Amino acid sequence: MKSTVLVCGGGNGGHIITGLASSRGIAVRVLSLYNHEANRWQEITSENDMEIVVQAPGSSTRYIRARPDFVTKDPEIAVPGADIIIVTVPAYCHETYLKAIVPHLTEGVIIVGLPSQMGFEFQCFDIFREKFWHCIIVSAESLPWACRINDFGLRATILGTKSSLACSIINPTNKPTNEILSSIQGLIGDSPTLYLLSSYMALNLMAKSYVHPPIMFARWKDYDGVPLKEKPLFYQGIDQFGADLLTQMSDEILQTARVIEETKPNADMKKVTALLENFFKFYEGQIKNKTNLLTAFRSNRAYDGLVHPMKSVNAGFVPDFGHRFMIEDVPFGMCVFRGIAEIVGVPTPAMDEVILWYQKVVGEEYLLDGRLKGKDVIKTRAPQRYGLYTLEELFGLQK
């Protein structure tokens, strides 16, 4: 039976998955809640195929042409009849899309966070309510590709494809998990190879959304407000303080995983590994000096030329604290890590230092008296926001 796929979002990842799945004879529809974006893409797709350019080292460039069935801003039109719903928008947009689709969800539908980012499952649980127990929630650790839109609605490029991608499944239904994973693999093709983790909690702790905020903190914690003449290097500009802070935060997450595994022996946390180990694996062949985390960051060719997010002013450049490195990675990343660590009783002094600085910069309050109980926790995806305060409650989602 032919699947019907709904892609939520019109960004880089949305373009790629729409093109790839459509090219495989799958019925694909797109939901964009931005009126101008939906209308523009529908107008384009009514007259033109879209082209996906696939680049890969050592291989010739491939060109894939396809088009979605339709693009709409109306969830009442987009959702009914969809077997698989791919949510591929930034984490701070997830709530809007999940609330838009929930009235139209049917039993057994597969919801895929691509990527899910931390706390995706908590948010689905909160928004879907009773329907949560009749849906299948699939979380992917990241986008499968490095990609970009070249011409909206018409052309997008895959710059690189990961070799493998970890996923977790919350499956209250009786559908075999191998069938669920195979159905998603069929949308993206042979690469990356999707593999299943035994627990969604492991996938949450594998997230790397704690990398950007401490680099921002290390560079700007003592900033005096004077504009800079040039944009400083981001990853390759990291100093020893920043590298040490990242290492400490990695250790805090590892300790959290170990405590969970000791408390819940069936919760396999072996894939939760140190940042440096993951760094070597992900950037194999691109790091010149593997002595430590500092030298690895500074000598990684993949980071050549990448600078801090900055805003232009008359006198030069000032840091952009409204960039996704901050507004996504703290409330939808670090606060989730911090919330899980708090539940299992693991101290997080390094993480707390960065979160407290971020609170001051943006004028919000997450940590209060050493706990995640500030007035703005409701703006995060920490488990505490959703009334989840124990490991039993967290693992109770994975029945």
The set of catalytic residues is 212
At residue 104, the 3 state secondary structure works out as: helix
Residues 6+ apart with CB under 8 A from 213: 325, 326, 329, 330, 333, 334, 354, 358
Both tokens assigned to 316: 């030069």
Give the C-alpha separation, 52 to 334, whole Å. 34
Sequence-ordered strand ranges (E) for the chain: 4-8, 27-31, 50-54, 62-66, 70-72, 84-87, 110-113, 136-140, 145-151, 155-161, 164-170, 193-196, 310-313, 316-319, 367-368, 371-372
Give the C-alpha separation, 91 to 98, whole Å. 11
Which contiguous run of DSSP H or E holds residue 186? helix 177-188
Sequence-ordered strand ranges (E) for 123-278: 136-140, 145-151, 155-161, 164-170, 193-196
Q: Are 159 and 148 in contact (CB under 8 A)?
A: yes
- φ and ψ at residue 82, rounded to 5 degrees: -80, 130
